[in-house]
Structure 1
Amino acid sequence: MAKIKAGRNKTIDTSIDEGKKYLDRCIAIEKPIDDINSILDKTIIGNSFDVMELLPVKSIDLIIADPPYNLTKSFHGTQFSRKKESEYEDYTRQWLSKAIPLLKDDGSIYVCCDWETSLIIGRILQEYLIVRNRITWQREKGRGAKANWKNGLEDIWFATKSNNYTFNLDAVKIRKKVIAPYRVDGKPKDWTETENGNYRDTCPSNFWDDITIPFWSMPENTAHPTQKSEKLVAKIMLASSNPGDVVFDPFLGSGTTSVTAKKLDRHYLGIELNEQYCIWTEQRLEMADNDDYIQGYVDGVFWERNVLN
């Protein structure tokens, strides 16, 4: 008997049989593509290592990659097994060597990782690109450990192909409440006074503690075991791309990069091997036709966690 979800549980877990119409919207690529415009805003079913070789070089403005961490994990029928460090290094070089040629000369790449794979990915990125920063974000969740510190943080490496790259600072400032406002001649100093409270828009740092992991009552949530939030991806996308740019995700998962790109008026392209996840991606893209809300991002402003009513 199928498990009945609670009324507030919005988790997307459509089966392959139920989601055939979504799967039919996906495409497969078997020969080289000369014009990226012919496949934009599509979900590609296939192996990233094979498909990336068929995409046109210097056609992508921004790559957001969330490769499997070096952990043994099951992804709805697809198993990724923990590798020796040298093997994971080879794996990382293989996909990066195929992804980087796709970037335009002024393009950027962000790579998600945990603390262990961060040691590998950061070092290898330096071999190919100009590493700009390492972002650390608070997961808010995580299992405790009896003989170690709980893993509550993950990293994202930011790198560019050249010194000419996009970074829209004003698009990613964070709105914070002002508790003890400072005035000069009776007027607010570096903060804004409103009927709804006092706020200051601050420059973002490379530590993000305002991210909420998708959970069962959020419309964006899926049954994918390592789903990133739309707010997390939106920060990256708004900072390092412009409306109309092409954003590419070689490890698409349940589609957060594509969905966020659609909501932010970017073109998207993603590759995913698992048909189940392709279905959830297309289902979420359909939902975005009628709802472009990104949790925690309101009226062009990123808010601190638990600030909005």
Structure 2
Amino acid sequence: MNQQHSTERQRAPRNRTLTCTKEEIESFAPQLIEEPVSLSVQEIEGRVIHGDTFAVLPTLPSGFVDLLVIDPPYNLSKNYNGHLFKEKEKGDYSKWFGSLVLKAKAILKPDATVYICSDWKTSVLIAPLLEKYFYVHNRITWEREKGRGAKSNWKNNTEDIWFCSNAKDYYFDVDAVKLKRKVIAPYRVNGKPKDWDEEEGGNYRLTHPSNIWSDISIPFWSMPENTDHPTQKPEKLIAKLILASTKEGDFVFDPFLGSGTTAVVAKKLHRRFSGIEQNLEYCCWALKRLRLADSDHEVQGYADGVFWERNSLSDQPKQKAPTGSVENLSLFDV
């Protein structure tokens, strides 16, 4: 198939969408690992593998992944920059996904955590397989507000993330993923705030995370993390998964890396990482984003060790985040 490079599009002057020129693609391509025969964990760490996931997974070492983030093609027809995934019959998609799970399961540590992205239709197909091969702990639903809606149906603006583990016991750090919310009706006891804090920028409460995420914005043209990938996940979303389910130095792996979000966030949060992507241009976007992450450690909407409610961080006084946190002093509070 002929691929229409995103660099050929005419963009508005303030559009910050990340692209690669033809020269950049030629420069980045040699840095990729082409479908490996057999490589060690040390050889793939911090690298992007260019190839087909089903062919690459069996060549990887066994039992090295602490966190597996799977964002596969959902069961619908979509063009991924020239790679067309066609909607399958329900049984055929289940077989396809089951084969993927079996291959991916081999690279997991015994106590590894797995997150699987899906839409509601695909969730119906994969849920029985997840129950078969993993311990299923929850289904996160996040608001993916995009699109103009449907004329004869409710607008579909949510996606699922299945939270699973390879064993009954698993790592989860709830304190690392608390959400900072504005307190609309502050309650006091003896004149003192109850379960909330008075701050210069307003009244706030730290809340435990739920399985409904309404504080996520998908990347758009004025955000520096944005690419032309049709199903790009936000860095803020992936940061929640990584912080909740890994410690610094753990290994994060993404077999459908796309434009590199999982790898980029893992790097920003000091985790080891690798991933597989079949599209060459997407691989190069990922490498460019990883290079930019050397000097830019920000994750939108995450600062001072907490996730901020949407449209609240921009109200805060500009100050340097404590050592070890990821500060966000961006104009785009998402």
Which TM-score applies when normalising by structure 1?
A: 0.97
Amino acid of the residue matched to residue 134 of structure 1?
R
The alignment partner of 2:34 has SS state of coil
- Name the structure, 1 or 2, with higher relative contact order (CA <8 Å, separation 6+): 1
Amino acid of the residue matched to residue 186 of structure 1?
G
Compared with structure 1, are the counterparts of its residues 180 and 125 closer, same or farther at alpha carbon in structure 2 (3 Å cutoff)? Answer: same
Deviation at 1:197, TM superposition (A): 1.3
1:31 and 2:43 aligned: no
Work out which of the residue numbers 100, 125, 139 in structure 2 matches 1:95.
100
Amino acid of the residue matched to residue 28 of structure 1?
E
The alignment partner of 2:223 has SS state of coil
User: Take 1:84 and 1:4, find their aligned partners in 2: how far apart are those partners?
Assistant: 38
Work out which of the residue numbers 140, 144, 151 in structure 1 matches 2:149.
144
Residue 15 of structure 1 contacts residue 276 of structure 1 at CA under 8 Å; is this kept in 2?
no
Aligned sequence identity (%):
53
Deviation at 1:38, TM superposition (A): 2.2
Work out which of the residue numbers 19, 22, 27 in structure 1 matches 2:25.
19
Where does residue 156 of structure 1 map in the other structure? 161
The alignment partner of 1:198 has SS state of strand
The alignment partner of 2:92 has SS state of helix
User: Take 1:101 and 1:279, find their aligned partners in 2: how far apart are those partners?
Assistant: 27
Residue 35 of structure 2 contacts residue 55 of structure 2 at CA under 8 Å; is this kept in 1?
no
The alignment partner of 1:258 has SS state of helix
User: Take 2:100 and 2:181, find their aligned partners in 1: how far apart are those partners?
Assistant: 39
Where does residue 320 of structure 2 map in the other structure? none
Deviation at 1:106, TM superposition (A): 1.0
Work out which of the residue numbers 122, 125, 135 in structure 1 matches 2:140.
135
Where does residue 272 of structure 1 map in the other structure? 277
What is the CA deviation profile of residues 3-48 of structure 1, one whole-angstrom value per residue up to 9, with x for unaligned ones? 4422221111224444221222111243223x31221010000111
Tell me, which stretches of 5 or more residues in structure 1 are unaligned? Answer: none
The alignment partner of 1:19 has SS state of helix
Compared with structure 1, are the counterparts of its residues 86 and 264 closer, same or farther at alpha carbon in structure 2 (3 Å cutoff)? Answer: same
Where does residue 208 of structure 1 map in the other structure? 213
Work out which of the residue numbers 188, 191, 205 in structure 2 matches 1:183.
188
Compared with structure 1, are the counterparts of its residues 97 and 3 closer, same or farther at alpha carbon in structure 2 (3 Å cutoff)? Answer: closer
Where does residue 54 of structure 1 map in the other structure? 59
User: Take 2:147 and 2:121, find their aligned partners in 1: how far apart are those partners?
Assistant: 15
Residue 35 of structure 2 contacts residue 52 of structure 2 at CA under 8 Å; is this kept in 1?
no
The alignment partner of 2:75 has SS state of coil
Compared with structure 1, are the counterparts of its residues 46 and 77 closer, same or farther at alpha carbon in structure 2 (3 Å cutoff)? Answer: same
What is the CA deviation profile of residues 31-87 of structure 1, one whole-angstrom value per residue up to 9, with x for unaligned ones? 223x31221010000111111101111100000010001111111111100100001
The alignment partner of 1:131 has SS state of strand
1:66-145 correspondence to structure 2 within 5 Å: 66-145=71-150
Where does residue 258 of structure 1 map in the other structure? 263
Tell me, which stretches of 5 or more residues in structure 2 are unaligned? Answer: 1-6, 315-334
Deviation at 1:2, TM superposition (A): 4.7
The alignment partner of 2:180 has SS state of strand
Where does residue 292 of structure 1 map in the other structure? 297
Shifted more, 286-295 versus 183-192: the winner is 183-192
User: Take 1:264 and 1:89, find their aligned partners in 2: how far apart are those partners?
Assistant: 34
Compared with structure 1, are the counterparts of its residues 2 and 94 closer, same or farther at alpha carbon in structure 2 (3 Å cutoff)? Answer: closer
Amino acid of the residue matched to residue 61 of structure 2?
P
User: Take 1:7 and 1:145, find their aligned partners in 2: how far apart are those partners?
Assistant: 31
Deviation at 1:184, TM superposition (A): 1.3
User: Take 1:104 and 1:143, find their aligned partners in 2: how far apart are those partners?
Assistant: 42
Where does residue 10 of structure 1 map in the other structure? 16
Amino acid of the residue matched to residue 161 of structure 1?
N
Amino acid of the residue matched to residue 33 of structure 2?
I
Deviation at 1:268, TM superposition (A): 0.7
Amino acid of the residue matched to residue 282 of structure 1?
L
